[in-house]
């Protein structure tokens, strides 16, 4: 019997190409290994995104769980907001979300979630626990039917609508564009915002695994263009663009401009700090402008590994009042369940917009420094972390000032550079920021020289892509 490709088990989830790496057979084995690792999990939520392979994987997983005697609460096609809400609100034991998130359409993936025995605390299965599940899949698993297994169709929609809308207070109703990108968010945002009295137009709300209009990845500029055009055409107050499983959201202001991740992070942090006192957790890509304002306010800030699960872990450890990533993940430990929920994040951003006479003018007032888009350098999964380790060794030897929590954030006199391995794709990612355009070019040049010295393959094509973005 062929073993599962171990490289699909990442640090925080499972990702692979369908059906080469992740198929019905492998998904069944992973589901059986999951319940063997957590035998006290009796009731398990299962949902999936709109990818063509997702219902196929869900069917295999549901059967495996029922065979193992588990009660499956099956949501069908449903985004992360409904998936996590079902686990937290109803107190179910575990969950499996089937989604390729923002990866290309040939990919799919699994996020495993568990409530640990004897604890109210819940969390995604990560790192060593995922490694244990990976190791279990290579062993002979018990496939004899157990009593009590059952698959039940479950719909948390009404409870979700009532719960989240009670937590949001808009100063005035807004006119909003929603782009779901034919992903699992569908018309859910429209239903929530309409319940709050907003006027809503949804683009690409129908589920379509071919993603005919654009990939559901709001972090990529071209995937926000349709929402931008619609905001300007219809004179909307605000636009939101969601990813395929609903854990990331991009905001568009009333002038049709993207409110980038740094701006959203700062606006939401300000909002949280107006109500709660405590530290803030952020990823490695955060702007110096954000850090400078937090320091001025006397707010303690913490760097974290760039993944929402790592952010959550850090939030718990330091008792933070807010956490987030520049890549459009945001977390609200004082206002909502501690999970990665893009719809709740967009509701909080709508609260902020509703309080402004002109949302675009408010964004214009936010502090900023010249910053590059992310540079993506192709690098095989089996090599990227080794290269980052080599980079860190080089920087220590040469006595550079850098932070090594996730890759290397190198501090220069007039800015910084971040070089890190992507968690879910075969790339090394870089970002640069400086206090002026001249210094930004200098930092970029120095950083690319360092990359070449440690064997990171920066090509002419890669550099041109950076300059054109």
What residues are labeled active site? 101
Q: Quick check: 251 and 240 in contact, CB under 8 A?
A: yes
- d(CA 100, CA 95) in angstroms, rounded, equals 16
Structure tokens belonging to residue 399: 């006595």
Of the CA atoms within 13 Å of residue 441, those in its CB half-sphere come to 3
CA max distance for the chain: 69
**DSSP label at residue 3:** P
Structure tokens belonging to residue 335: 């206002």
Percent helix, strand and coil across the chain, each rounded to 5? 40, 20, 40
- d(CA 32, CA 62) in angstroms, rounded, equals 10
Q: How far is CA 226 from CA 50, 97, 246, 328, in A?
A: 20, 28, 18, 18
**Sheet strands (E) in 103-169:** 107-115, 122-124, 150-153
- d(CA 336, CA 325) in angstroms, rounded, equals 17
Instruction: Give the 3-state secondary structure of residue 428.
Output: strand
């Amino acid at each position: 019997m062929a073993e599962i490709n171990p490289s699909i088990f990442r640090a925080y989830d499972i990702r692979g190409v369908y059906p080469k790496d992740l198929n019905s057979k492998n998904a069944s084995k992973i589901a059986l290994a999951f319940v063997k690792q957590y035998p006290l999990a009796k009731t398990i939520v299962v949902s999936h995104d709109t990818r063509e392979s997702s219902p196929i994987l869900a069917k295999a997983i549901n059967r495996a769980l029922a065979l193992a005697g588990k009660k499956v609460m099956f949501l069908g096609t449903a985004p992360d907001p409904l998936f996590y809400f079902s686990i937290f609100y109803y107190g179910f034991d575990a969950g499996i979300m089937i989604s390729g998130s923002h990866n290309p359409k040939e990919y799919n993936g699994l996020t495993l979630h568990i409530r640990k025995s004897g604890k109210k605390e819940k969390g995604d299965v990560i790192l060593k626990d995922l490694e244990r599940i990976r190791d279990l899949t290579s062993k002979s698993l018990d496939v004899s039917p157990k009593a009590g297994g059952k698959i039940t169709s479950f719909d948390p929609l009404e409870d979700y609508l009532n719960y989240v809308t009670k937590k949001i207070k808009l100063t005035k109703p807004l006119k909003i564009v929603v782009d779901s990108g034919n992903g699992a968010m569908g018309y859910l945002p429209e239903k929530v915002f309409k319940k709050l009295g907003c006027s809503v137009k949804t683009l690409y709300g129908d589920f379509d695994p071919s993603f005919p209009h654009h990939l559901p990845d709001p972090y990529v500029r071209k995937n926000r263009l349709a929402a931008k055009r619609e905001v300007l055409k219809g004179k909307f107050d605000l636009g939101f663009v969601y990813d395929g499983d609903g854990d990331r959201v991009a905001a568009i202001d009333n002038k049709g401009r993207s409110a980038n991740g740094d701006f959203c992070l700062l606006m939401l942090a300000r909002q949280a700090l107006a109500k709660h006192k405590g530290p803030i957790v952020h990823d490695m890509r955060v702007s110096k402008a954000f850090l400078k304002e937090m320091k001025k306010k006397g707010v303690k800030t913490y760097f974290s590994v760039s993944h929402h699960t790592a952010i959550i872990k850090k939030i718990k450890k330091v008792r933070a009042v807010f956490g987030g990533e520049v890549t459009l993940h945001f977390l609200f430990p004082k206002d909502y369940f501690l999970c990665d929920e893009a719809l709740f994040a967009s509701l909080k951003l709508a609260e902020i917009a509703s309080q402004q006479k002109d949302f675009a003018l408010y964004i214009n007032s936010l502090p900023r420094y010249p910053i590059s888009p992310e540079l993506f350098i192709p690098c095989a999964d089996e090599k990227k972390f080794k290269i980052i380790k080599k980079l860190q060794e080089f920087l220590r030897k040469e006595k550079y000032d850098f932070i090594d929590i996730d890759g290397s954030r190198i501090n220069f006199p007039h800015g910084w550079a971040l070089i890190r391995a992507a968690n879910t794709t075969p790339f090394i990612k870089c970002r640069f920021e400086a206090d002026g355009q001249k210094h930004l070019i200098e930092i970029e040049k120095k950083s690319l020289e360092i990359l070449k010295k440690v064997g990171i393959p920066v090509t002419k094509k890669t550099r041109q892509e950076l300059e054109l973005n």
